[in-house]
Every structure is written in C-alpha cells, then in structure tokens.
Structure 1
Amino acid sequence: MIKLAASDAEIQACLPVMRQLRPHLIADRFVPLVRQMQSEGFQLAMAQAENQVVAVAGFRITTNLHHGKNLYVDDLVTDAACRSQGYGEEMVAWLEAFGKVQGCVTLHLDSGCQRDQAHKFYFSQGFTIASFHFVKSLVGA
C-alpha cells in the first residue's frame, strides 16, 4: 500500500528508510523539517508491507519553462532489506499515476553519479539521462 505520509507518526515512520539514502538526518528534527518542506510544496509518499515502511519517496510538483508541469523526485529509496521485491517499481508506478492525475507531463529526478545500482533500476523503469546537474556552493565562498 502506498499513500502520502500525513501524520507526524507516519512521517517519523519513514525516517529509518529515508536515512538509508540521507544518513545525516537527525531523528528529532525530521518531522519539523518535513513539515517545513511541506509548506514549500514537498510531499512524502510511503509504501508499507505488513505494517512496515518498505520504501519512501519525497517529491514536489512544480511548473517551469523547460518541463511545464512536472513531478520532481527529491528522494527515492527502498529499504535495503526489501530490495528486489518490487517495492521500488510500485513506488515509481504510483508516482507516475499521481503525477498524471495532477496534470504533470514529466517525472524526473537526479541521482548521484556513484549510485550505479540505482541507475540500473531507473533505466529499467524507463528513465533516460536527459542532462547534467551542476552545483555550486553558496556557503563559505
């Protein structure tokens, strides 16, 4: 079952899986951070099996000149103990369906260059490499 994490308890339940992708996250700051991000358009989807969170996706819907209305995935991770059981595929399908209902014309994400297994998964889900993503720090510069 996949749904949007709505309550503080549901958001907090996503943390152990999210930490597998974002290990810097701090437990007592996670819910307030997600709530702040939600005020900026962020949404958190959670996949559950046997009352356990097995996959999470953080995303936002935006409109820009390049893509039009789109669903951008900030975070997508399946619990390491549950990989290769179809949960990642189910989450991607759910994100696609959610985006279509919202009128989005594209689904896109960035993935770190070192994440070879994630890239293999994304290619199997029909994603293509469309661009490079450049970053420049504004702190301490």
Structure 2
Amino acid sequence: MPFEFKIIEKSKIKEVIPLVQKLTEHKFSDAVLESRFLEMANQNYECAVIYNDDKLIGVSGLWFCTRHYSGRSVEIDHVFIDDGYRNRGLGKQFLNWIYKYIKDKGFESIELNTYVQNHPSHKFYFNEGFKILGYHFVKTL
C-alpha cells in the first residue's frame, strides 16, 4: 500500500472533518468543525495528512509558535489514524515525517496534548520520547 504524507491544501481543509469526528466522544456538528477549521487554516496552523492512494486515512494539526520554555515549537493536535490502518507502524512513520518537516522549517521542539483516558496514545508517545511536562486545563467561557 503506497502511503503519502503531506500538508493538505487550505482549500481542502474540510476533508479532515470526518476523521476528526472519530477522534473524541465529545462531538461537534460538521458545521461547527468546518467553521473552526476554516478559521484555523488562516492562522499559524497547517494540517498534515496521510493518504492511502486517494483515501484520507490520517490527520494531525500543526500549530507553529515560539514558547519561552521550548523555543520555536510545533504543537501537534488531533492526531488520528483511521481504525483499519492502526497497529502497522503507520503512526511512527507519520510522526517521523512530521519531525523532519518541522525540523526542515527551522523548529526545534514538538509538543502535544492527549486525552487522559487515551492510554494507548500515552504508551505510543512515551515510546517516541515525549515526556510529561505539565497538565492541560480548559475552561469554557
């Protein structure tokens, strides 16, 4: 199976919504996600994707910023690989592609958040060399 890793064009950003909908138990309407992704695409955000032939099977948001504690940093967000493609080493290949992509752009660190209950992701990220730095808190206003 030929896998293609790339940055999706901003004009095609809505194509990631079905995968992002599978990511979490807390669902938003497609209209809400479309509005948010269109706004995100006009910020310091890019979206890395995986295609298997013409089928979109993986996604990860990339937020570019500079942080006082980590320098030029990229936060990966909503990382998801479709169920039928898991446990084949594709996640590791995807992250290796992302690491190279962001390093080539001059960024020096990568960070992420993962849901507390998503234990398989914790093991995966520990194996990738990530360390827990703190807690992520959210308050809806």
Out of 27, 34, 40, the position equivalent to 1:24 is 27
- Which amino acid is 1:71 matched to? V
- Which amino acid is 2:15 matched to? A
Task: Give the match's secondary structure for 2:59.
Answer: strand
Deviating runs (4+, > 6 A) in structure 1?
A: none
Corresponding pairs, count: 137
Q: Kindly tell me: are residues 39 and 27 of structure 1, through their superposed partners in 2, closer, same or farther at Cα, counting changes over 3 Å?
A: same
Q: Which residue of 1 aligns with 2:16?
A: 14
Out of 64, 67, 71, the position equivalent to 2:70 is 67
Q: What stretches of structure 2 of length at least 5 have no aligned partner?
A: none
In structure 1, what is the Cα distance between the partners aligned to 2:16 and 2:133? 29
When the two structures are superposed, what TM-score results if normalisation uses the length of structure 2? Answer: 0.86
- Which amino acid is 1:40 matched to? Q
Task: Give the match's secondary structure for 2:92.
Answer: helix
Q: Which residue of 2 aligns with 1:56?
A: 59
Q: Which residue of 1 aligns with 2:47?
A: 44
How far apart are residue 19 of structure 1 and its match?
1.2
Percent identical: 23
Residues 71-118 of structure 1: CA distance to partner in whole angstroms, max 9, x if unpaired? 111211111121112221122112111110121111110111111011
Bigger drift between 121-130 and 28-37 goes to 28-37
How far apart are residue 29 of structure 1 and its match?
4.1
Structure 1 position 79 matched with structure 2 position 87: no
When the two structures are superposed, what TM-score results if normalisation uses the length of structure 1? Answer: 0.86
